[in-house]
A and B are shown apart, each in its own frame.
Chain A
Amino acid sequence: MSSAIPLRLYVNGDRYEIAVEPRRTLADALREDCGLTGTHLGCEHGVCGACTVLVDGQPVRSCLMFAVQAEDTSVRTVEGLAPDEERLHPVQQAFWENHGLQCGFCTPGFLVLIAGYLEEHPDAEEAELREVLSSNLCRCTGYQNILTSTMCAARAMRGEP
């Protein structure tokens, strides 16, 4: 084991000066060193996707990335989606309106995945989005309401009624 090394992380526009062991995962650093516990750990082997965050805009399993690898990148977590305390991100709003969550544990991973994907692929259609959603696991909803929420969010983000 080696001792902690200093690390600067940029998360949701804020700068965090922390010190981590090289083996510390990005997920643990976000949760425990930055206090951002909205990123959840569901399997710690990269399958379930609950820990998904955006690193420089790309969806990443934060359980499979070391915190030190995120140095000088821009990280976005579920806490960084909503613009303010009053309003939700369109994906969050769509999940609320379409019962896209039950227990809410996998939800941050889905929200971040979808927000990231729709920002890069605003015209994505249903079949493509279903395949994107299949990268994460949910045990409560049976996925249909997540897909419906995603389609609604896509329309909202395109400015359609």
Chain B
Amino acid sequence: MIGARALRIEDPVLLRGAGRFAADTIRPGELHMRVVRSPIAHGRIRSVDVTPALLLDGVVAAWTHADIAELPAIGFRLTPLADLLPYRQPVLARRIVRYVGEPVAVVFATSAYLAEDGAELVQLDLDPLPAHLDADAEPVAWLDAEQATWAAGLGHQLPAQDSQATAFTVEYGDVAAAFAAPGPGYRVIESDARIGRHTGVPMECRGLAAVYDAAEQQLIVDGAAKVPFWNREAVAAMCGLPPRQVQVRETHVGGGFGPRGELYPEDVLVTLAAVRLRRPIKWIEDRQEHLVATNHSRGQHHRLRALVRADGVIEALDAAFVLDQGAYVRTHGATVASLTASMLPGPYRIPNFRVRAQVRLTHKTPAGTYRSPGRYEGTFARERLVDRIAGELGLDPVEVRERNFIPAEAMPYERPIQAMGTELVHDSGDYALLRAKVWEKFDLDGVRRDVAARRAAGELAGFGFAFFVEKSGIGPYEGARISVDSSGAVTVTCGASSVGQGVDTVLAQVAAEVLGIAHDSIRVVRGRTDQFEYGRGAFATRLAVMAGSAVSNAAQALADKARRVAAHTLGVPVEDLSLAGGKVLVTADPARALSFGEIARLLDPSGAAELKESPGLTADGWFHSDHMTYPYGLHAAVVRIDPGTGQTHVERFIVGYDVGRALNPTLVEGQIAGGVAQGLGGALYEEFRYAEDGTPLCTTFMDYLIPTAMEIPPIETLITEDAPSPINPLGVKGAGEGGTTAVAAAVAAAVDDALGRPNAITSVPIHPARIRGLLT
């Protein structure tokens, strides 16, 4: 069952339109919330008058910051550097607005239409201030002492702060000494790489439906995603309730990709309103709001300087980058900068390494994580540098990479830095083997010859590739409970979350493998704080590793318990029993068997006491991990450029990816294909652009261009299992992000090749106008 191309158990419900997404929870008497957002990028709030809205029939309440002044700023979930505390976002703007789209007031009304009518009547009197948009520019004054002190919430006075929220250095070896005393023939090679601001943009906008159940004395929050357990704690604290009075329930989630599910101002407002107004409250973000309110990502500018031997081996890398954080630091804290820094060396040894990260505020939508955060950016920067090294030294780019790879015999390979608070240990991998396998399977030498021939014939065709290391399976823990009812039906209950990637199916497959039953007979319950006690969430490609291992452990414990009961009842030793078809049977005499249902009935509380077992055919399993696991891959692209329009067409896209063990190869390929499509969006189409005054220019799908079926070629994949992870019982590494990681790097290399201009592409997205400029 593990490793099978099993059909998804989620699908029949979704295919019938019977799913329950955030907007599908409809409660009688519900009020709809509409957020009044700042129309300017920077300004002083003179007044916000909600009275005209309150006079409208159907409007029940309207709030400004004054109505929620006791709420603290929104906290950090990850990488909570103290430096960043003053930059946290208030739930509603206080005194100053700092980006177009910042929540300034909210209106609650009896329909979504009336709420919108009411919101339009709210009077904002704002004094515009100059917008600071260029993160590369020198930092400017950002927060006065009062705001810094309030937002930090440390209980002591802080001074005013500038727009550089934090800067830190990650390093090992001795970069300064290496550059100061280069060996004979060493070269210094520099490069510059920019990634445009873009983000996940799931097809379902954010939304939440909350109700305070007075009978049960429970605040019920539906429509959560990604991190419901963390959000339960945060919501409880914000609403002044103990966590046991808050139930956060994930329903169906229409895509996550990083931004969705984090705690945003709107989540706090919806839940607080349910408590205060004692009416069901619903908020469904519209797309225009989504594109200015939900986390952006990726906007980074890198400068790299490498000390390189004549044979292409990188002796030292000295790097710096600026991250355009937008107007506030949200739940991710310094996660993206931290991951960029620690994952920058990727698959290469690089004995001396130093990277300086600068996180800077601008008057734009705040930024957070997006699929492969820090790696999409860093991989683009690093792989562009490696291509430049190859070009300047006259070496083959394959050769340069292979000379720098961490060799298979060095695994596990510890890089003496940290990633997401864990020691960075490449747990397993044979990078050269994957490179060779991809080359052979897709005949990439032949592909290169073919594009060269096309170029010789006058076409602008090119080939490019990039190599990368991903990370997955961050701990520290995940748990699962498996229980069997009196009919023998099996339920897996766990703290995992699903953002639509097929978690239920994979966890069912893992349980089915151990229990010897069909995966589609298993019900998976997850993402509900009323059903399980702990869960860390659906991010960082962690669930196949963490929840998968927890389910495996729970299933083993359940199987052991079932065997003990059957052994006692059938009067045979435990070793003589096996599990198959929902039964425990005597291996040598399969007619002697007890079904799971019979065992469950034997384990009712009375029977269990006699058997000296805990009641019920049920078992818990936990999995703990202090280290991440590191999948790795290669992306390759064949492109054709239209010389008339400058448009880049991606003809082929190839991915080789080692996931240690593919629990369901169809789902792994699906993750890769979807990840590539998003990577291509960032490489060629998607970018949030701003006018000089900070007005966002991409607030609809007419200006923010998500690839369609016409832009995405068939994604050709080679999934390998050459390097199982030694740090979890399944040997699995996560598949969620490796489709995205090196897309920009590979496409840029292919465009360089098509143009016959090495190092031409130093920034993405690659606009047709840029190509036209290079062609003339």
Contact = CB atoms under 8 A, between A and B. Distances in A.
Chief secondary structure at chain A's binding surface: loop
- Which interface residue of B10, B666, B674 has the most chain A CB atoms within 10 A? B674
B12 A38 contact: no
B679 to A, nearest CB: 10
A57 interface: no
Contact of B674 (A24, A105, A140): A140
B17 A39 contact: yes
Contact of A96 (B7, B257, B288, B709): B7
A25 B20 CA distance: 21
B257 A139 contact: yes
Contacts of B257: 139
Interface string B671-705: 00111111000000000000000000000111000
Contact of B677 (A1, A28, A142): A142
Contacts of A69: none
Interface in B182-239: 200-205
Contacts of A160: none
A105 B21 contact: yes
A5 interface: no
B561 interface: no
A131 B711 CA distance: 10
Contact of A103 (B17, B204, B702): B204
Interface in B609-654: none
B287 A31 contact: no
Contact of A104 (B19, B288, B715): B19
A67 interface: no
Contact of A105 (B202, B501, B702, B708): B202
Contact of A142 (B21, B203, B674): B674
Interface string A89-130: 000100111010111111110010000000000000000001
Chief secondary structure at chain B's binding surface: loop
B774 interface: no
A108 B702 contact: no
In this complex, the interface size class of chain B, counting residues with CB under 8 Å from chain A, is 35 or more
B15 A146 contact: no
A44 B288 CA distance: 9
A112 to B, nearest CB: 9
Contacts of B19: 38, 104
A139 B21 contact: no
Interface string A62-85: 000000000000000111011000
A126 B550 CA distance: 43
Interface string B9-43: 01110111111110110100000000000000000
B255 A108 contact: no
B7 A103 contact: no
A20 B253 CA distance: 29
Given A47-B700, A96-B11, A105-B21, A79 B113 contact: no
B15 A47 contact: no
A78 B13 CA distance: 11
Given A104-B10, A141-B673, A143-B708, A36 B204 contact: no
Interface residues of A, number: 58
Contacts of B204: 40, 42, 103, 105
A79 B17 contact: yes
A31 B319 CA distance: 52
Given A37-B17, A44-B286, A103-B254, A139 B12 contact: no
Interface of B: 7-8, 10-12, 14-21, 23-24, 26, 112-113, 117, 200-205, 252-257, 284, 286-288, 499-502, 666-667, 669-670, 673-678, 700-702, 706, 708-710, 712, 714-715, 739
25 contacts: A21-B113, A23-B113, A24-B113, A31-B24, A38-B16, A40-B204, A42-B204, A42-B205, A48-B287, A96-B8, A99-B670, A101-B11, A101-B14, A104-B14, A104-B500, A106-B203, A106-B254, A138-B203, A139-B255, A139-B257, A139-B677, A140-B203, A142-B712, A142-B715, A146-B709
